[in-house]
Structure formats: C-alpha cells, structure tokens
Amino acid sequence: MKSTLISKENNDAKFTMEFTPEEFENAIINVYKAQKDRFSVDGFRKGKAPRSIIEKKYGEGVFFEDAINNLFSANYPSALDELELNVIDSPRAEFSQIKKGEGFTVTITVECYPEIEVKDYKGVEIEAVSSEVTDEDVENELKARARRNSRMVTVDRPAKEGDTVLIDYEGWVGDQQFEGGTAERQPLKLGSGTFIPGFEEQLIGVSTGEDKDVKVTFPEDYHAEDLAGKEAVFKCKVHEVKEEEVPEINDEFVKDVSEFDTLDEYKADIRKELEKSKASRAENAMKNKVIEKVFEANDIDVPDVMVESEIDNMISEFDQQLRSQGLDLNTYMQYLGKDPKEMRDELKDEAFKKTKTRMIVSAVAEQEDFQVTEEEVNAELERMAKQYGLEVDKLREIIGEANLSMIEGDIKVRKAVDMMYDSAVKK
C-alpha cells in the first residue's frame, strides 16, 4: 500500500491509499477462505466449492466488499502514522473503479486535530486562596462528627422542627383519594423540605397518637399534571416523635470514636486533617483560576466534532449515574418533558469549555515537551488499581498495552497544569 498526501488546509486533509493488484488479490483469497463455508453450490459439499465456481454463481465481485474493507481497516492506521495526521473524525472515502485483477485507489478526506500555539500561560496573575484553619473550623468539624454519632430517641412531647415523626397518611383531592398519596409508618424529618411546601410545618406541635389533617396546595409545576396547582388534604396519623440525641463532646466521646484519649489530642488531629484538606482545596481552586485565565487569553479553533463527542461522553456518564439509581435517560427526559436535542443544546456550552480547556492544556504539555517515565506510568497504574480495587497486572490487562499512551497523556496534562500553577503569581 502506498499513501500520498494530496492537501492539508486548515483542519482538513486529503490523501490517497493505493493498493496493488497483488494486495487486492490476496485480500480476496483471504475472504474466500474465511467465508467459503457460507456458500451452497450444487455438486459440492458445503465449504468445498472452488472460488471460481462461487464467483460464477454469485458474481465475480462477491468477495470484493469484504476484501476492500479488510484492506482499508488494516492499512488506514499506518497511513495516518506515515503522513503524520492526527484525525478527530471518521474518514470520508471515495473509491476508484474496482475491477478483478486490478489495483484500486481510495481517496480519503479527514478532519484533523488543529495546530495550536498557546500563549500567556506562564506567570499568570491570580488571587491567592487562603488555606488557614481557624478554631471555629475545628469546632464545627468536631460538632459535625458528634452529629454523625448521634442516635434517634423517642420523646413524649409535641414535635418540633428537626424532629422525625413516624406517620401514616392518605392524600385526598376533594372527595377523591389520589394514587401515590398513601403511606404507612413513613419517617419524616420536620424542616427537611422533603414533602410538599407547607406540609411539614403543619406537623409541628403534634404528639404521638394524634390525628392531623394537613392542607396543602400542589405546586403549579408539580410532576403529576393531574395534581399540579390543586388543593389537597392529607389525613395523617402520628405514631412516634423522635429527636436526635447528640453525644456530649468530652474525653469519653473521643475515646469512643477515635484512638485518642483526650479532647485536646483529638482537636489537634482534626486541625491537621483540616489543614491538609483545606490546602489541597485551595491549591485546586487556584489551579482552576490559572486554567481559566489561560482559557480566556487564548482564542483557538475548537472543532464541532470534538464538542459533539464531549456531549456524547457527558450524556453517557449521566445515563450511567441514572441507571445506578434505578432510572434511565429516556425516563428522565420524559419526566422533564425534554427531547434529546434540547438536552444536547443545554450541554453544548459546558462541552465546549471542557473541550477547549483540554485542548489548551494538552497543547501546553506538547509545547513544553514533557516526558513521562516508566516509573511514573507504573505509579499511576498503582494509584488506579488501588482506586478500583484491582491488582496492577489485572488493570494492565484491562487497559491494554496499546492504550497506555492515554495514561501518559493524562500525566503530561497534570504536569502542564502543575507547571502553569507553579509559575503563576499569587496575589
């Protein structure tokens, strides 16, 4: 196969792939050997009919299409490498006339990754983000941990905001009980905003064993159209009133929840943890500021096909999230009253920003000619393996040696971000 570049203008490249008669004939022979068992010819056992007989019965071009496809798919990647073309879209191919015993030429048009020269990515001025940990921060974290160790206890008093009530309820619109408006022994935290606006507030002051008619109006945009905007009454029965009992913060609490013996020791450890996490968040926030500044300073050509591909990825990830929650994308869109085009349009700006950002940072990595060592790749694989609960060898097998370049690319991107951040001026 011979590949020849015809033209390269802007992001479009045109080139040819020329195949000799011998290459075409060998491809046909290979297809015949692979497919001969599919053909039934009178006088021959299945799979035993000579190629010439099959071609006579089914046409001399019976194997052409698969032979051409096999030649194209096997040689297209090497043609791109030879011509140094970094393509971002599927090829558009035109074939010369195909005849038995002759070679043929494929003329291919592809969209290529744009050439980018990033400017003003060093010495970016940004506002510094504080990572200071205050005594108040420590106290708030301590209180949060105490709340996480709280327990619910039944109380013999009227319910107040923050309590959890255990209720039965029946929903009525006029004299009709509506579907989905019934529950038994349903826990509800008052003030959580879980139920329809106005519902929870009316249960404040109720006691165990009490009946209560809760009158509400469904919102105009309520998802059930037959209930939207309508007045309803929920007939409620209160079975229990519970409050959150938060443990007292003292040395005994510390001994129960940690390896420390005293409250002071525990506070000191909390401060260290907060300092580490706050420093990390501050650094990430400043890195994002740097990237945003470089983003704004560089007006680059972002191909539509890359933006559309990013939208595809975003939708796929969202669909996976929904499925993990027992939903799917189609049901979700029906619920919102949206069609796929509307969803794609809503994601376009975000997808554009993500794509442009990735292109800029990748270009910086190339301009700086960052290299990745085998040790760095191995360290990244170990980190990923730990994250997914896999052995490193198993992860390597899943990824495949051919795709390790993606990991190398990710490492280069991180190096580029770190370099831009380190050179930034923090005011």
CB 158 within 8 A of CB 242: no
Percent of the chain having pLDDT more than 70? 100
Give burial (CB, 10 Å; 0-12/13-18/19+) of 174.
exposed
d(CA 52, CA 32): 10
- Helix/strand/coil percent split, the chain, to 5: 50, 20, 30
Quick check: do 2-111 and 151-245 share a fold?
A: no
Count the neighbouring beta carbons within 10 Å of the beta carbon of residue 159: 25
Residue 109 sits at φ, ψ, to 5 deg, of -115, 130
What is the mean predicted confidence (pLDDT) over 226-249?
94
Q: Which two tokens stand for residue 268?
A: 């000191």
pLDDT in the model for residue 402 = 67
In whole numbers, what is the pLDDT of the chain averaged over residues? Answer: 93
**pLDDT tens track for 128-138:** 999 999 999 99
Overall average pLDDT of the 64-80 stretch? 94
- Rounded distance, CA 204 to CA 190, Å? 7
CA dihedral 236, 237, 239, 244 (to 10 degrees): 20
pLDDT at 3 over 90: yes
* CB 234, CB 170: distance < 8 Å: yes
Indicate the DSSP class of residue 112: B
The domain 2-111 belongs to what CATH superfamily? Trigger factor ribosome-binding domain (3.30.70.1050)
pLDDT, average across residues 141-168: 95
Dist. CA 427–CA 126, nearest whole Å:
6
How does DSSP assign 138-178, residue by residue?
Answer: HHHHHHHHHHHT-EEEE-SS---TT-EEEEEEEEEETTEEE
Alpha carbon 114 to its chain centroid, in Å, reads 25
**Pairing status of strand 104-111 against strand 176-189:** unpaired
The pLDDT confidence band at residue 339, using thresholds 50, 70 and 90, is confident
Residue range 24-46: average pLDDT?
Answer: 90
- Model confidence pTM above 0.75: no
Residue 114 DSSP code? P
- Assign a CATH topology to domain 151-245: Chitinase A; domain 3 (3.10.50)
Q: CA 36, 41, 45, 51 torsion: positive or negative? A: negative
Give the fold, CATH level 3, of 282-426.
Trigger factor, domain 2 (1.10.3120)
Q: Is the pLDDT of residue 356 over 80?
A: yes
What is the reported pLDDT for 399?
A: 83
The predicted structure's pLDDT at residue 333: 85
* Per-residue pLDDT reduced to its tens digit, 379-390: 999 999 998 888
Domain ranges of the chain: 2-111, 151-245, 282-426
Type of residue at 327: L
